[in-house]
Amino acid sequence: MKPIIAASLAATLAMSVALPAHAQISTRTITVSNGIAEEHPVGDGVAAMRACYDEKTGGAWTLNAFWSSALGDDLQATQALRSGTQEMVITSSSPIVGIIPALGVFDLPFLFANEAEADAILDGEYGDYISGMMPEYGLINLAYWENGFRNLTNSLRPIQSLEDFDGMRVRVMQNNIFLDTFQTLGTNALPMAFGEVFSALETRTIDAQENPYVTIDTSQFFEVQEYVSATRHAYTPFMVLFSRALWENYSAEEQQILVDCAIVGRDVQRESSRALSEESLARITEAGMQHNEVPEEGLAEIRAAVQGVYDRHKDTIGAEVVDRMLAALEELRAQ
């Protein structure tokens, strides 16, 4: 691990409370899967979680990680959790909106202003409110990690204004809110699993995709895209999900270890993600991508164009879910 990540992990573990001697710890092998590459900051979070397991269980637990959709995409992995055939998946909230409609709240365009807002909402009462819904769907949310603010890459032109989206073939995640957002912007939006994106860009089946800088970098999209524009149009979290069916076979002490170590991983992963975001932007521009900030006038025009997405999806997400989010943000911004 990078020195800054290792130091952060050591400090976090030093502050953690050791389990009592009578803790009920069984020997276990836990499988965790993810749709992205191990080089992504999620890899640092998983390494931190593994070290935390070793510390708290005395080496009784083994964490086996699978990357780049090796066990199926995030939706397939989430379904495996629900059926009790896999323990854990670290997935963006967006691919599983079809299972849990309330998670669509995180896909609403231009919801969070910055990372501090996202952390406060996700780690606070509102995040607990959403996590409390998960058991109904056969899932336990252990912690929110960071996918981050999403930016658009494409092979046609820089995004400077609303009209630059017109006719662009954009890959979007497989949920209706992203589909509606990009159709509203005037693109030909195409839902597609993440594992198919590189080849679709390479063959020019699509012109564009949108992801955080770190994912653009670690997925090597710079090899098949020319432009990257700082649209920051959505912030999506990763969720560290555990199978409820398997969770119920764990003792209370073991369940607490799962939660505590997911939080250790969260803090390391977010720090890594934010440290690497600027590095990733530098790397992809050094590799030849042209980067631009969207002029404020153009960004205001883009934001205004997609405001109707909130009203069109409020009932599907859940009116209470949306209203509570907006109220929480209003309260946070008033502080």
pLDDT in tens, 236-250: 999 999 999 999 999
**Is it the case that residue 10 has pLDDT exceeding 50?**
no
Q: Which two tokens stand for residue 278?
A: 């600027």
Lowest-confidence region among 191-200, 261-270, 293-302: 191-200
What distance in Å separates the CA atoms of residue 88 and residue 74, rounded to the nearest whole number?
11
Q: What is the pLDDT of residues 160-201, one digit of tens each?
A: 999 999 999 999 987 899 999 999 999 999 999 888 999 999
Q: What is the dihedral of CA 190, 196, 201, 207, to 10 degrees?
A: 10
Task: Please state the pTM of the whole predicted model.
Answer: 0.86
* pLDDT at residue 20 in the model: 45
Q: What is the pLDDT of residues 120-154, one digit of tens each?
A: 999 999 999 999 999 999 999 999 999 999 999 99
What distance in Å separates the CA atoms of residue 112 and residue 116, rounded to the nearest whole number?
9
Q: Which two tokens stand for residue 113?
A: 């202003």
In CATH, which superfamily holds the domain spanning 28-147+236-277? Bacterial extracellular solute-binding protein, family 7 (3.40.190.170)
* pLDDT at residue 193 in the model: 85
How sure is the predictor about 23, in pLDDT bands with cuts at 50, 70 and 90? low
According to CATH, where is 3.40.190.170 located in the chain? 28-147+236-277, 151-234+279-334
**Is it the case that residue 52 has pLDDT exceeding 80?**
yes
* pLDDT at residue 194 in the model: 86
Give the pLDDT mean for 46-58. 98
Lowest-confidence region among 5-19, 53-67, 84-98, 210-224: 5-19
CATH architecture of 151-234+279-334: 3-Layer(aba) Sandwich (3.40)
Q: What angle do CA 134, 140, 142 make, to 5 degrees?
A: 120
Give the pLDDT mean for 31-37. 92
* pLDDT at residue 5 in the model: 41
Q: Which two tokens stand for residue 67?
A: 């990357």
* pLDDT at residue 273 in the model: 92
**Is it the case that residue 11 has pLDDT exceeding 50?**
no
Give the pLDDT mean for 72-96. 95
DSSP 271-331: HHHHHHHHHHHHHHHHTTPEEEEPPHHHHHHHHHHTTHHHHHHHHHH-HHHHHHHHHHHHH
Q: What is the pLDDT of residues 88-118, one digit of tens each?
A: 999 999 889 999 999 999 999 999 999 999 9
